[in-house]
Amino acid sequence: MDITLQLLLVKSKLQSIKTRIRLTREDLEEKKPNATAFIKGANEVELDLTEIEKTIYDLENEMRMIGREINYAMLINGKLKEKINDLENEIKFKNLDL
């Protein structure tokens, strides 16, 4: 599976988990406000998941930047190969003239 599709799948699963935890926490706050340990735990998990989402976003941005750098390096590499080929041909022709 393509990495972009994998990221999309993971992000949607993460969002689904985060939503289920939020809904459960809100339900507990409404129906069982004395379940403070569960409510606090759910809050902490939500914060952790938000941090994970941010990290995934940062990694995606880094991946895009690296992809652009690789594309640029490949472009320059292609131009340099052309230049080398031109110089090699020029040397061959000069050697023939001698």
The 3-state secondary structure of 17-85 reads HHHHHHHHHHHHHHHCCCCHHHHHHHHHHHHHHHHHHHHHHHHHHHHHHHHHHHHHHHHHHHHHHHHHH
Q: Check pLDDT > 70 for residue 98.
A: no
pLDDT for position 94: 82
Residue 63, pLDDT score: 92
Judge residue 43's burial from the number of C-beta atoms within 10 Å of its C-beta, 0-12 exposed, 13-18 middle, 19 or more buried: middle
**Token couple for 77:** 């590499």
21 vs 14, 27, 31, CA distance in Å?
11, 10, 15
Q: Is the pLDDT of residue 88 over 70?
A: yes
pLDDT value, residue 97: 66
pLDDT of residue 84: 97
Report the first-to-last Cα separation within the chain, whole angstroms. 58
pLDDT band, residue 43 (cuts 50/70/90): very high
- pLDDT-derived band at 3 (thresholds 50, 70, 90) equals confident
pTM of the model: 0.74
